[in-house]
Amino acid sequence: MKFVYSSLPYRVIFETGAIDRVADEAARIGKRALVLSTPEQRDAAEDIVRRLGALAVGIFSQAAMHVPVATAAAATALARALSADFSVAIGGGSTIGLAKALSLQAGLPSLVIPTTYAGSEVTPLWGMTENGVKKTGRDLIVLPRAVLYDPMLTLSLPAGLSISSGMNAIAHCMEGLYAVDGNPIVSLMAEEGIRTLAESLPEIGRSPNSLEARSAALYGCWLGGTVLGAASIALHHKLCHSLGGAFDMPHAETHTAVLPHAVAFNASATQDAMERAGRALKVKPANVPNALYDLAASLGAEMALKNLGMPEGGIDRVVVLALQNSYPNPRPITAGGIRSLLQRAYEGLPPQAQPI
Ligand code: NAD
């Protein structure tokens, strides 16, 4: 056995009702908090301000998908004007992404309170979008100092977004299983993450108010995020970043539609990963791509990229983007292979194995 593993320095508080600890946790980080949210979650940000009392100096509630550079610049200007010395982000990956932009641009540490299953809260990865291109990077400065996981806050996440966000977390686990720098600990977490999410998402579909299922899914989300933060991403994430940046497509939904196809593309080169994923999904290794498709489709997820905002004729643009920068992937990436998997994902067809 031979591997390298770096654990990341962040603190996790996982508890139903963890939100009650926000002021105590915030006081460990700074004295002047700028609270961040999307416009849709402004009420949640106002609740945080009430809970923080004198620790809160303002709200910026314009967080948006894929962190547009203009939004990051506006938040940074407000943080400077208010002399904020840290941020508190409540929301999904978009709001947490904005907290990361503030860390990168103004050096502000963050306390984050995730309300989706995207997993960004425990990764040193950042992303920002300008002119239809998403720039991403890895920098420890953006890693949140502390994370409050409170399953109560996910009860309001609509069932549809819960399913696609959960599939996004499964995508982190899948790519961790075959990452070039994967290791036994990452594989353990990835397998457990897939198992936990594959069990809890159908339960959330049936009973969106089940705190037990919400808690299990949020735990799976933490595992997925941890895997994403510890191992390199491959074809699947690159395709989703390209689609998101180029066509402003919804993040979690795009991951959901692409995942079975990207896994099918890589399956023949990732025997061990398919065995582990098969165990977690309770199917034979060869059936993993279809099991991922069936899991999402049976819960009502949209599986056709054409219905998620991908324009007709967009396939060629994504093929070019996906081939532009080299990155590790279990099998060589070819224009023909990517075009064929994107075509099926565009139409919403089940995945098809691509022999090497
Ligand atoms: P999101 O943050 O864009 O949220 C989607 C919508 O759901 C928003 O309107 C939000 O306000 C709302 N919402 C969130 N939680 C809610 C709740 N509990 N109840 C009601 N509404 C709620 O979606 P996302 O999928 O979490 O994040 C996507 C973004 O995160 C993308 O830009 C993606 O690139 C990024 N991301 C980054 C990383 C990373 O490691 N850097 C990881 C995953 C995702």
pLDDT digits (tens, 9 = 90+) for 274-319: 999 999 999 999 999 999 999 999 999 999 999 999 998 999 999 9
Identify which of 66, 94, 218 to mutate to test ligand 1's pocket (most ligand atoms within 8 A of the CB): 94
DSSP 3-state percent helix, strand, coil across the chain (nearest 5): 60, 10, 30
Whether this prediction's pTM lies above 0.85 is answered by yes
Mutate to test the pocket of ligand 1, among 62, 65, 168, 249 (most ligand atoms within 8 A of CB): 65
DSSP bridge partners of 146? 11, 111
pLDDT above 90: percentage of residues in the chain: 89
List the residue whose alpha carbon is closest to atom 42 of ligand 1. 120
Beta bridge partner(s), residue 14:
149
Helix (H) or strand (E) holding 260: helix 251-267
Which pLDDT score, from 0 to 100, does residue 356 have?
62
Ligand 1 pocket mutation, candidates 8, 19, 41, 130, criterion most atoms within 8 A of CB: 41
CA angle 349, 351, 300 (to 5 degrees): 55
Average pLDDT, integer, range 325-352: 93
Task: Please write the tens of the pLDDT for every residue from 202-217.
Answer: 999 999 999 999 999 9
- DSSP symbol at 149: E
Mean pLDDT of the chain: 96
Mutation test residue for ligand 1: of 38, 116, 141, the one with most atoms within 8 Å of CB: 116
Which residues lie below 8 Å from residue 45, measured CB to CB, with a gap of 6+?
A: 35, 36, 37, 59, 61, 90
Q: Residue 326: is its pLDDT beyond 90?
A: no
Q: Does position 254 have pLDDT exceeding 70, yes or no?
A: yes
> Using CA atoms, how far apart are residues 219 and 196, in angstroms rounded to an integer?
8
Integer Cα distance of 19 and 140 in angstroms: 25
Give, using CA atoms, the residue closest to atom 22 of ligand 1. 157
- What is the mean pLDDT of the segment spanning 234-241? 93
How far apart, in whole angstroms, are the C-alpha atoms of residue 319 and residue 243? 10
Residue type, 352: Q
- Kindly report the length of the chain: 356
Confidence at residue 96, expressed as pLDDT on a 0 to 100 scale: 98
Domains of the chain: 11-154 (3.40.50.1970), 159-347 (1.20.1090.10)
Dist. CA 56 → ligand 1 center (Å): 23
Ligand 1 pocket: which residues have CB below 6 Å? Answer: 38, 40-41, 65-66, 91-95, 97, 115-116, 118-120, 123, 125-127, 153-154, 156-157, 161, 165, 168, 228, 251-252
Ligand 1 atom 17, closest CA: 157
The predicted model gives 158-174 an average pLDDT of 97
CA-nearest residue for atom 36, ligand 1, is 93
DSSP 18: G
Question: What is d(CA 126, CA 103) in angstroms, rounded to the nearest whole number?
Answer: 10
**If you measure from the C-alpha of residue 115 to the centroid of ligand 1, how many angstroms do you get, rounded to a whole number?**
8
> Distance, CA 283 to ligand 1 centroid (Å)?
30
Q: Classify residue 108 by burial, with Cβ atoms within 10 Å: 0-12, 13-18, 19+.
A: buried
* Angle at the Cα of 54 from the Cα atoms of 49 and 58, rounded to 5 degrees: 45
pLDDT category of residue 6 using cuts at 50, 70 and 90: confident
Mean pLDDT of 28-52: 98
Confidence of residue 355 (pLDDT cuts 50, 70, 90): low
Say if strands 11-14 and 146-149 run parallel, antiparallel, or are unpaired: parallel
Residues near 56 by Cβ (< 8 Å), separated by ≥ 6?
A: 33, 35, 48, 49, 88
